[in-house]
Amino acid sequence: QVQLVESGGGSVQAGGSLRLSCAVSGYNIRYKCVGWFRQAPGKEREGVAGIYSGGGPAYYPDSVKDRFTISVDNTKNTLYLQMNSLKPEDTAVYYCAIEGWGRLCAPNPVFGGGYSGQGTQVTVSS
């Protein structure tokens, strides 16, 4: 059974930082396209980071570029999302994902389907 469990969400003030973690079990993420997307109330789902765990460039939308950084620890089968300079518009539920179609690992990343976690809430106050 594939499980993705996010942690690290919370409430911060604008300008603050959070680091999300996603522990994956039941599936080896090595060489897979993995990443993060978010969902805010009343807004479309938005891919925020993607990378092939075997190496290569990371992909971010303009909305988070230079503020968010994705990383992967293949020895722990875990991925991370470092979020700096957070803004109120970053408020959303954040999900980690194993992307089945590679669309998170491309310019303008989009979660096209695959496995995802239950989500963790990130709230940024002004």
Question: Quick check: 55 pLDDT over 90?
Answer: no
Cβ neighbourhood burial of 40 (10 Å; 0-12, 13-18, 19+): middle
Token digits for 59? 């992909």
How far is CA 101 from each of CA 81, 98, 106, rounded to the nearest angstrom? 21, 9, 10
Residue 45: the pLDDT is 95
User: What integer is the mean pLDDT of 5-24?
Assistant: 98
User: What integer is the mean pLDDT of 80-84?
Assistant: 98
User: What integer is the mean pLDDT of 41-55?
Assistant: 94
DSSP 8: -
Question: Quick check: 26 pLDDT over 90?
Answer: yes
Residue 102: the pLDDT is 85
Residue 57, number of CB atoms within 10 A of its CB: 11
